Amino acid sequence: MTPTPTPQLTALEIARKATLRPIVDVAAEMGIGDDLLQPYGRFVAKVSLDAVGALADRPRARYVVVTAVTPTPLGEGKTTTTIGLAQGMSHIGRRATAAIRQSSMGPTFGIKGGAAGGGYSQAAPFEAFNLHLTGDMHAVTAAHNTLSAIVDNHLHHGNERHLDLHEISWRRVLDVNDRSLRNIVIGLGTGQDGVPRQTGFDITAASEVMAVLALSTSLADMRQRLGAIVVGFDTSGQPVTAEDVRGAGAMAVILRDALQPNLLQTLERTPVLVHAGPFGNIAHGNSSVVADLIGIHTGDYLITEAGFGADMGAERFFNIKCRVSGLVPDAAVVVTTVRALKAHSGTHRIVAGRPLPPALLAESPDDVLAGAANLVKQIENVRLHGVTPVIAINAFPDDFESEYEAIRELAASLGVRCAVTTHFADGGAGATELAEAVAEAAEEPGDFRFLYPSGAPLRDKIEAIATRVYGADGVDYAPTAAQTLDRLGALGFGDLSVCIAKTHLSISSDPALKGAPTGWRLPVREVRLAAGAGFAYAICGDMRTMPGLGSHPAAFDIDLDADGQIVGLY
Helix (H, G, I), strand (E, B) or coil at 303: strand
Distance between CA 329 and CA 301 in Å, rounded?
A: 11
Distance between CA 46 and CA 25 in Å, rounded?
A: 14
pLDDT given at position 346:
85
Distance between CA 539 and CA 169 in Å, rounded?
A: 15
Could you tell me which residues are beta bridge partners of residue 233? 239
Q: How far apart are the first and last CA of the chain?
A: 28
Amino acid at 128: A
Q: Please indicate, yes or no, whether the overall pTM of this predicted structure exceeds 0.85.
A: yes
Nearest to 465 by CA among 452, 476, 478, 455: 452
Instruction: List average pLDDT for each run of 10 residues in the chain, which is 570 residues long.
Output: 59 92 98 97 98 97 98 90 98 98 90 85 94 96 98 98 97 96 96 96 96 98 98 97 98 98 98 94 93 98 96 97 98 97 88 81 94 97 98 96 98 98 97 98 95 96 98 97 96 96 94 93 96 96 87 91 90
Distance between CA 504 and CA 298 in Å, rounded?
A: 33
pLDDT given at position 456:
96
| Neighbour count for residue 559 (Cβ, 10 Å) | 11
Helix (H, G, I), strand (E, B) or coil at 103: coil
Alpha helix locations (H) across 69-188? Answer: 78-91, 105-108, 126-130, 136-156
Alpha helix locations (H) across 418-530? Answer: 423-426, 432-442, 458-464, 479-490
| Neighbour count for residue 516 (Cβ, 10 Å) | 22
Distance between CA 295 and CA 197 in Å, rounded?
A: 45
Distance between CA 8 and CA 124 in Å, rounded?
A: 19
The answer to whether 516 and 532 have CB atoms below 8 angstroms apart is no
Phi and psi of 367, rounded to 5°? -65, -40
Task: Sketch out the chain's domains with CATH numbers.
Answer: 45-101+267-275+285-442 (3.40.50.300), 136-257 (3.30.1510.10)
Q: Crossing angle of helices 78-91/432-442, nearest 10°?
A: 80
The answer to whether 336 and 392 have CB atoms below 8 angstroms apart is yes
pLDDT given at position 6:
47
- C-alpha torsion sign, points 294, 300, 306, 308: negative
Distance between CA 376 and CA 203 in Å, rounded?
A: 34
